[in-house]
Amino acid sequence: MKESATAGGVENGGSKPLSSGGSGSSRHLLVKRVVKVTAFFVGITVLWMVLYKTASPFGFASISQHFIGVFANDADIMWFRDPFKEFYKDSDFQIACDFFNGNSYDLDNMPNGGLTYVKSNFRTIWFYRYWFASKDAYPKMHDQDVFNKIKKNNLIAGMKLKIRFLSTEYFGGFCQPSKDLNKVSTMHANCCVGLDNKIIDLKILLEDWRKYMAWPDKSKKQLKASWSVPLSCR
């Protein structure tokens, strides 16, 4: 874990695999299986929502009519604090970023659809239907890339859909890690190719957090600790 300063009694430890019982290879295999199983069930859930009377990438247009809001995140996102405290109160559609430029209203931010929080209302239901329909114009693109293509469309502006982008200070990732562990809510293993690479860096991420949580509260406030990752995901 990196530190911007040092304090007595606080060790600037490097990032190592977790030191719980069992061999490194067996722990690696266990984590890999857990990620695969989680990804499988997430995939089944998304498929069910898409097939169940849906007109949107994630079934939002159908299911959102029965809920106040919908929160979704990928299986390779680690939660460290309650993320709901960091969501904007005045937004219809909020999305995480690969790269955040400091302005949550700026449509030039680079979004990542791995984490979204959406209020259920006529604007967001319309938007998801429009988003899904737009895939026909970009048939070879992922949903996230289609969103990038349509986010500045005048139709969306005309609907007065309130879009805001989540700061990587609170919703970080391997693309742009959050710089202060005192503030971070989630970390996403984005900008990373290969499941093995993700697992290696996620283990380092958890080790960084374990060391940080072992510090006295006073040291946590004095030191601006940051992550050791990405390493394998560079």
pLDDT in tens, 106-136: 999 999 999 999 998 999 999 999 999 999 9
pLDDT in tens, 65-110: 555 678 889 999 999 999 999 999 999 999 999 999 999 999 999 9
pLDDT in tens, 158-202: 999 999 999 999 999 999 999 899 999 999 999 999 999 999 999
The domains of the chain are located at: 22-234
Q: Which of 96, 120, 58, 91 is nearest to 184 (CA)?
A: 96
Residues 27 and 17 sit within 8 Å (Cβ to Cβ): yes
Residues 181 and 225 sit within 8 Å (Cβ to Cβ): yes
At 19, the pLDDT band (50, 70, 90 cuts) reads: very low
pTM metric for this prediction: 0.74
Coil/strand/helix, residue 163: strand
The C-alpha atoms of residue 98 and residue 91 are separated, in whole angstroms, by 19
pLDDT in tens, 138-149: 999 999 999 999
The CATH number of the structural domain formed by 22-234 is 3.90.550
The C-alpha atoms of residue 213 and residue 225 are separated, in whole angstroms, by 11
